[in-house]
Structure 1
Amino acid sequence: MANEVASKTGEKHIIAYSASDKFRRTNTGLYDSDILCGSCDNHLGKNENYVIETMRKVRAQFPKHGTLAKSPIDDGNVFVRFAAGIAWKYSVAKPGFGRINVGPYGDILANVAFSDEAIPDSIDLAMIYMQAGVDEVFFYRTPLPDRQSGVNLIRFSVGSFLYLLKVDKRPNPPDPPSQVWLRNKSAVVFPVLPAHEFEEWTKPFGIRGRPQVRSYFDRFQK
């Protein structure tokens, strides 16, 4: 995910933690090299690259705020398998690399990510394009467990998009609406909403204001 953010030579980024004032400088983001062999990494990379290129095309079009935007890819399962792969990797990562607990869904997520078998009802994905006026929302948030309307989700953000991955046998939550959930969908749509309505936007702004973080970026800009 960090590759999508760190796109310009010489850029500097930080890894910040919401529960601590500590932060780490980085050019590449966190990377656990012990998760995948080359072949498996390439397999997941196909969906990841496909989705990243799609996000770039959508951002270039800059769809109108408050609308349902359409993806150039007409296969919702590509997005679901992409998100399942991201969540699975974080479920098996080392604790210091952002490991998350997915309960009994580890093997299910792996099967969705690595195979072409039918995606079970318990796994689904919705995504939201976050806009902040005419500015890019250009940061990422690593996956973390979430719960909406009693339904278990894994949420993460990258490249202006918020991803909500359902990992629950219960029906999809009512928000976002049914047409936005992507499993087995041939028409891939997503709402375009204000970034300030989501903690993926508000939390980084709060972290950015911390003295140590602001001092680091001030020194770098000079």
Structure 2
Amino acid sequence: MQCAYCQQDRKLIDAHIIPRPFHPEADGAEAVILAGPDNLAYPRRAPVGVYDQHILCAECDAKLGELDQHAVECLLRGACHSFVHQGQARGKTYDTADADTILRFIVAVAWRASIARHEMFERVTSEKYESEMLQVLKSGDLLNFDAVIAEFDENTVGFLNPHQSRFDGVRFMVIYAGRFVFYLKLDKRQMPFSFRTHSLRISGVVRTVVRDYSRSKEFNVMRMIFEQPHLARMRKKWALGPKRKKEL
């Protein structure tokens, strides 16, 4: 089959869309729920993350893996300190993360999500940007792309589907990756003014906005999904833990 990156006819592998380390490792159901494309489908566990068997060969997956590794080492597990703006703590600054590399990493995740066939990514409609994303990954030229990053104040949060949204009229792809939320600008217009302090390209550093997960709209969506009446048996099964599932 043809690899989407090198365009060569090669054997394809199980390629993760979002790097596996970003998936929470906790056993609790709240850590591993994946909402369906309509936010009403059955949530399900994904202990090894979400991958696609139809997009990348091993060599090209390894190339993108270099970006993934930088994000894992310098963002997910990297040293950070509080980011203070106008006398108030607004988030975190990641000391060893390179802003351009993290931006290319976010583009890589968005590109894989856009071409993936997995149902989790059915709401990602960015075909018009796929060629530009691929150009960024191959040439290093960031073109019109920019991004901001938020993170929740908890590590074990559920995954929602990537989707597109607008802020001040500017189009973004919103991608959830563990405690992080990436907002990739898919628009030739400038970054909204309120986003510029945390813009990877404008600030030149990797800063995040820290959000209260228990008060977030994402938490409410996950709760509504999991509390659907038809999931009562699943809630009971998950509460018993993996060793006792077969007894039900």
TM-score, normalised by the number of residues in structure 1: 0.81
Q: Residue 50 of structure 2 aligns with which residue?
A: 30
Q: Tell me: higher relative CO, structure 1 or 2? Use CA pairs within 8 A at least 6 residues apart.
A: 1
Provide the aligned length of Structure 1 versus Structure 2: 214
Q: CA deviation at 1:204?
A: 1.2
Pairwise CA RMSD = 2.8
Say whether 1:129 aligns with 2:147.
no
CA distance 1:76–1:89, shift in 2 (3 Å): same
Work out the CA distance in 2 between the residues paired with 1:141 and 1:221: 21
Cα gap change, 1:54 to 1:185, in 2 (>3 Å): same
Residue 46 (structure 1) aligned with residue 35 (structure 2): no
- Equivalent residue number for residue 193 of structure 1: 211
Corresponding residue for 1:111? Answer: 135
- The aligned counterpart of 1:219 is 237
SS for the counterpart of 2:77 is: helix
Runs of 4+ with deviation above 6 angstroms = none
CA contact (8 A) 1:129 1:161 kept: yes
Is the contact between residue 151 and residue 172 of structure 1 (CA under 8 Å) also seen in structure 2?
A: yes
Determine the C-alpha separation between the residues in 2 that align with 1:44 and 1:156: 17
Q: Deviations over 1:116-160 (max 9, x none)?
A: 2x211x2101001222xxx43433333211111111110011121
The whole-number CA distance in structure 2 between the counterparts of 1:51 and 1:184 is 19
Worse-matched range after superposition: 199-208 or 122-131: 199-208
Amino acid at match of 1:142: N
CA distance in structure 2 between the aligned counterparts of 1:87 and 1:130, rounded to whole angstroms = 20
Give the aligned partner of residue 14 of structure 2. Answer: none
Q: What letter is aligned with 2:63?
A: H
Which protein is bigger by CA-based radius of gyration?
2
C-alpha displacement of 1:214: 5.0
Equivalent pair of 1:44/1:85 in contact (CA under 8 Å): yes
- Separation in structure 2 between the aligned mates of residue 84 and residue 157 of structure 1, nearest angstrom: 13
Structure 1 61/209 Cα, relative in aligned 2: closer, same or farther at 3 Å?
Answer: farther
TM-score by length of 2: 0.74
Q: Quick one: distance in 2 between partners of 1:112 and 1:159?
A: 24
Q: Is 1:147 the equivalent of 2:166?
A: yes
Contact map agreement 2:81 2:94 (CA 8 A) in 1: no
Distance 1:6 1:136 in 2: 7
CA distance in 2, matches of 1:205, 1:105: 33
Structure 2 match to 1:76: 99
Q: Which runs of 5+ in 2 are unaligned?
A: 1-17, 241-248
**2:24–2:157: 8 Å Cα contact kept in structure 1?**
no
Structure-2 residue corresponding to 1:204: 222
